[in-house]
């Protein structure tokens, strides 16, 4: 058997998992995890229950895999922007605001991501197992943003009124709050970014000395 032929089943399995996860993201965002059924996810993805259970042991396992994928995508985007920002000069609070805003505007206006994020937090509040997984993934995102805050505060000579950890927590809380508020009020992508910029501006003014 050739290497290409041997790899074909693996690619098919990966494609099946991806389609199931994409479908699940839509269904979970639309109706919530509790109301979503395996059948609804399979129907949306165009697969049978057999295909589902050959890839995931349960709906819970699928949800956790989906959360992990979403977090990894966001973290990778944040880290890319942090790396790109390393050569950008920051000499004033306004410069810092623009840099932080650029990094955090990764997915704040994406409706599906906002809905899935809210559902993830809800499940984490209800279920200790989900809470443990959510906190671990959230810690990785926080670490990426913390890297940026520390870079601004230490390397570029700006003072913080609170610890870098507290500043990061405040920035991420503002990011989540602004994204969800924009969705609730029906703002379009441009208005969502403007709202996020305003919230971040307020936080940056509070935390910078």
Answer whether residue 108 shows pLDDT above 60.
no
Q: Are residues 24 and 109 in the same domain?
A: no
Q: Please tell me the predicted confidence (pLDDT) of residue 6.
A: 47
Tell me, what's the pLDDT at 47? 94
- What is d(CA 31, CA 122) in angstroms, rounded to the nearest whole number? 13
- 97 and 161 housed in the same domain: yes
Structural domain total, the chain: 2
Same domain? For 51 and 96 the reply is no
Mean of all residue pLDDT scores within the chain = 80
The 10s digit of each residue's pLDDT in 156-174 is 677 778 888 888 888 888 8
Lowest mean pLDDT among 9-13, 86-90, 177-181: 86-90
Are residues 43 and 82 located together in one domain of the fold? Answer: no
N-to-C CA span, the chain: 66
Co-location of 16 and 92 in the same domain? no
Query: Quick one: pLDDT at residue 93?
Result: 55
Question: What pLDDT was estimated at residue 202?
Answer: 80
Q: What is the CATH number of the domain that holds 71?
A: 1.10.357.10
Within 10 angstroms of residue 22's Cβ, the number of other Cβ atoms is: 16
Asked if residue 87 lies in contact with residue 58, where contact means CB atoms within 8 angstroms, the answer is no
Tens-place pLDDT, residues 146-157: 877 777 677 667
Considering only residues 102 and 1, tell me which one the structure prediction assigns the higher pLDDT: 102
Cα–Cα nearest to 114, from 77, 70, 149, 158: 70
- Count the Cβ atoms, other than its own, within 10 Å of residue 178: 23
Rounded Cα distance between 33 and 39, Å, is 13
C-alpha span between 198 and 29 (Å, rounded): 26
Percentage of the chain exceeding pLDDT 90: 20
Helix, strand, coil in percent for the chain, rounding step 5: 80, 0, 20
pLDDT in tens, 1-46: 555 544 566 888 899 999 999 999 999 988 998 999 999 999 999 9
Burial 184-202 (b: 16+ CB within 10 A, else e): eeebeeeebbebbbebbbe
Residue finishing a domain among 10, 31, 56: 56
Contact 55, 20 (CB under 8 A): yes
CA torsion sign for 29, 35, 41, 43 is negative
Ramachandran class of 116: left when φ > 0, alpha when ψ lies in -120 to 50, beta otherwise: alpha
Q: Kindly report the pTM of this predicted structure.
A: 0.71
Residues 46 and 66 in one domain: no
The domain of 80 spans 59-207
Are 140 and 203 within one domain? Answer: yes
Neighbours of 171 (CB within 10 A): 24
Q: What is the pLDDT of residue 120?
A: 87
Q: What is the structure's pLDDT at 42?
A: 96
């Amino acid at each position: 058997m050739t290497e290409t032929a041997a790899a074909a089943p693996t690619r098919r399995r990966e494609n099946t998992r991806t389609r199931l996860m994409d479908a699940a993201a839509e269904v979970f965002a639309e109706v919530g995890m509790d109301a979503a059924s395996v059948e609804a996810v399979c129907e949306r993805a165009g697969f049978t229950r057999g295909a589902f259970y050959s890839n995931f042991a349960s709906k819970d396992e699928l949800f956790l895999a989906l959360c992990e994928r979403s977090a990894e995508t966001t973290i990778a985007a944040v880290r890319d922007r942090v790396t790109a920002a390393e050569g950008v000069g920051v000499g004033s609070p306004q410069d810092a605001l623009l840099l932080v805003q650029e990094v955090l505007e990764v997915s704040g206006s994406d409706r599906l991501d906002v809905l899935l994020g809210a559902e993830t937090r809800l499940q984490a509040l209800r279920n200790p197992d989900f809470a443990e997984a959510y906190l671990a993934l959230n810690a990785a995102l926080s670490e990426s943003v913390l890297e940026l805050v520390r870079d601004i505060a230490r390397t570029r000579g700006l003072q913080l009124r609170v610890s870098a950890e507290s500043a990061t927590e405040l920035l991420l809380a503002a990011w989540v709050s602004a994204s969800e508020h924009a969705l609730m009020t029906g703002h379009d992508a441009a208005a969502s970014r403007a709202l996020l910029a305003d919230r971040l501006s307020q936080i940056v003014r509070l935390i910078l000395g």
